[in-house]
Amino acid sequence: MTALKKNIWLIFIMLVLSGLALLTILSVSRWNGMMNHYSLSQSGLVKQWFGSFSSILEQQETIISLIGKDIM
């Protein structure tokens, strides 16, 4: 009877440990996937924002240059 109880507990512990290991591996994998996805997304947004901001600054520079030429 004690051998049967020992084997049942051994099976239970092995199931719990293998479940925790699997959960950890899947969680880390999912985390890395999400980080890569959002990193690429944020990188694209920054490039788009920089392009828009650069365009606005070039327009302002052109307007200021034209006004400066008219004043001179």
Instruction: Report DSSP state, residue 59.
Output: H
How confident is the prediction along the chain (72 residues), in pLDDT tens digits per residue? 677 778 898 999 999 999 999 999 999 999 999 999 999 999 999 999 999 999 999 999 999 999 988 888
At residue 38, the pLDDT reads 95
At residue 34, the pLDDT reads 97
At residue 23, the pLDDT reads 98
- Say how far apart CA 8 and CA 22 lie, in whole Å: 21
Looking up tokens 């980080």, which residue turns up? 35
Q: What is the pTM of this model?
A: 0.60
**How far, in Å, are 8, 37, 46 from residue 30 at the CA level?**
33, 11, 24
With 0-12 CB in 10 A as exposed, 13-18 as middle and 19+ as buried, what is 62?
exposed
Quote the tokens at residue 14: 């092995």
Quote the tokens at residue 60: 């302002």
Quote the tokens at residue 13: 């512990």
